Structure 1
Amino acid sequence: MLRAIIEGKGRRLPASVSAGDSLKRAFVQSEDILTATVFGRLAYLDGPLFWEILKQTFRPQFLPAQSIVEIDDVEFWPTWGQAKGTLNKAVEPDVVIRLTAGDPPQSWALIVECKYGGGAQSSQQWYEEWTAYLAESAAIERADQVWLLAIGGHSPKGVEATVTELSAATRTRHGIDLRVAGAEWSDLVKTLNTIEIPTSAARRVIADIRKAFDLHGFRQVRPLSDLVDLSQQYKPSGALTSLRSPHTDPETATTDFDKWAAKSVRWRPVSEHQILRLR
């Protein structure tokens, strides 16, 4: 949120928010707040963990495995105007992340396009951002590797189908081969819930991101098939075992609890009663 405000985003409440509504209602409808909250906090992580999260989240999974990664800069909504002569307008990508990776070190750049709340990814927007990036970066400053990451706003066909289709459209219309990987926000939620987090500091950062996702309605529900059988995790005490085992003989009971359990009447199903009968 802080980065969104600093960068001049969120200056107006969404039209769907009325006077007197809570700030929470305004926040959960904002693409800019979600973008700044999630990527602003991801940038607090150490480079290798940050990169591994992206590598596991975005598809197709062509981001290279790399354990030596340093985050150099994270820029929100930069205004790129050097390509105005070609595009007739300035371009504003959502996030630009610059990194140094590998040994010997290489410069990497990520152009991140975020969609939330009904917005759709667009091949034209990808082309404009790539063209603007090339114009902004002098040859000597251009990163060794550049990827465009598209999160949210994919078609019902799925993320990889959307990436393939829009990349082909960019190639056909503009003759440009882009390296694009895509994901839904829910894919990032899943990664954060499953990836191994090495330090307590990183766990606190990721817990904060999870809360932001919860606020925006993103929750991962684990299927029943993933749950471990509780009966294998928790072994009942002897007293509890006596309650669920065959009726204990009062003569052989050795503890006060067993004697009480032996004399107690088992629970029975509720029989039909006039008050309970459905009419």
Structure 2
Amino acid sequence: MISHFFQRKGKLDAKEDSLTSLTFDGLKYLPDELFWSILKSSLIIGSLPNVTAVDDIYFWQHWSAEGTSNTTYIEPDVFIRVERFDVIIEAKRWDKNQQSVSQKEDQITAYYNDFSDDKKLLYYIELGGLYNKNPEPNYLHNDLEVVICKTNWSHLLMSIVKHYENLDKLKLKLFNPQKRILEDIIKGFELHQFYTMKWFDDLKHPKMYSNQFDFFKFAKGHNCSKQRLITPFMNVSKVSLNNITTNNLFQYAKSTQ
């Protein structure tokens, strides 16, 4: 399905839910340790324990709304269960200024409505929509601590690309299935205006850009698509680049036309 949209055979209605689905539906097909390493290393604030097995991954479950601000049900975006703890992921469309404190409180309350008998530690990950990248104290729910973690889509994409490159360096066909999954996830990010961009060969890590680069859409695949997409330069004033970088950027853009 990702190729259908990526090759412009159909138009994707790019929203928060489609970005969440294309990303985590892909990640869930990876070996559990690889999936967990990508998620764990993407965190900006907080940390997750190491795990070797992921028991279940659920999307948009309906939980009891008792004691919350909602009258029907509570619907977390992603819910991950492992043996020793559970993880709620609340995803937002963009990287900044969308998370809701009341929504977090409602989801944590609803979790304990349905899963309190399991007596497991809960982690709550804010993915995107961050108002800041400051550490937060653990959230207390009836004397039960919930660990608050933060990341954004750009950091998650960076983690995916880093793990892809690590697999690629091994030069083993054994890992081709995992690499193909990661390639499709990277394409999904591009469809939602999150791009990877390698500027110079001596860069150790690719830089990640989201929708603030609407004036310059650049897609360079990692052993996947070699297609480069360049759109008219718009909103240039929104971009802050030094002169040397700017010159190299437009030189490179011109050479690919």
User: Cα deviation per residue 1:164-197 (whole Å; 9 max; x = unaligned)?
Assistant: 2xx58x66x9977431111110101111111233
SS of the residue 2:195 aligns to: coil
State the alpha-carbon separation in 1 of the partners of residues 186 and 61 from structure 2: 26
Look up the equivalent residue of 1:123 and give its one-letter code: V
1:128 to 94, 101, 106: 106
Tell me the C-alpha RMSD between the 2 structures: 3.0
SS of the residue 1:179 aligns to: strand
State the alpha-carbon separation in 2 of the partners of residues 215 and 98 from structure 1: 29
Look up the equivalent residue of 2:196 and give its one-letter code: Q
What corresponds to 1:80 in structure 2?
Answer: 63
Q: What is the aligned length? A: 189
Deviation at 1:224, TM superposition (A): 3.7
What corresponds to 2:237 in structure 1?
Answer: none
What corresponds to 1:245 in structure 2?
Answer: none
| 8 A Cα contact 1:186 1:220, kept in partner | no
2:45 to 56, 60, 64: 60
Question: Residues 82-161 of structure 1: matches in 2 within 5 Å?
Answer: 83-89=65-71, 90-100=73-83, 107-117=84-94, 120-139=98-117, 141-142=118-119, 144-155=120-131, 158=132, 160-161=133-134
SS of the residue 1:84 aligns to: coil
State the alpha-carbon separation in 1 of the partners of residues 97 and 125 from structure 2: 15
Larger RCO, structure (CA 8 Å, separation 6 or more): 2
Look up the equivalent residue of 1:53 and give its one-letter code: I
State the alpha-carbon separation in 2 of the partners of residues 123 and 175 from structure 1: 18
Q: Does 1:185 align with 2:177?
A: no
State the alpha-carbon separation in 2 of the partners of residues 187 and 227 from structure 1: 17
1:27 to 3, 6, 13: 13
Runs of 4+ in 1 over 3 A off after TM superposition: 85-88, 173-177, 222-228
| 8 A Cα contact 2:79 2:87, kept in partner | yes
Structure 1 residues 45, 151: CA separation in 2 closer, same or farther (over 3 Å shift)? same
Q: Higher strand share goes to which structure?
A: 2
Deviation at 1:226, TM superposition (A): 3.8
Look up the equivalent residue of 2:158 and give its one-letter code: K
State the alpha-carbon separation in 2 of the partners of residues 85 and 65 from structure 1: 33
| 8 A Cα contact 1:96 1:110, kept in partner | yes
What corresponds to 1:214 in structure 2?
Answer: 190
Structure 1 residues 91, 224: CA separation in 2 closer, same or farther (over 3 Å shift)? same
Q: Does 1:46 align with 2:31?
A: yes
Look up the equivalent residue of 1:211 and give its one-letter code: K
User: Which structure: larger Rg?
Assistant: 1
State the alpha-carbon separation in 2 of the partners of residues 212 and 48 from structure 1: 22
Once the two structures are overlaid, the 10-residue window that deviates more, 54-63 or 218-227, is 218-227
Deviation at 1:74, TM superposition (A): 1.2
2:203 to 217, 224, 227: 227
| 8 A Cα contact 2:32 2:53, kept in partner | yes
| 8 A Cα contact 2:121 2:145, kept in partner | no
Structure 2 unaligned regions, length at least 5: 3-8, 205-257
What corresponds to 1:205 in structure 2?
Answer: 181
State the alpha-carbon separation in 2 of the partners of residues 225 and 205 from structure 1: 25
Structure 1 residues 92, 184: CA separation in 2 closer, same or farther (over 3 Å shift)? same
SS of the residue 1:217 aligns to: coil
Look up the equivalent residue of 2:28 and give its one-letter code: A
SS of the residue 1:97 aligns to: strand
State the alpha-carbon separation in 1 of the partners of residues 19 and 68 from structure 2: 31
| 8 A Cα contact 2:121 2:146, kept in partner | no
| 8 A Cα contact 2:81 2:87, kept in partner | yes
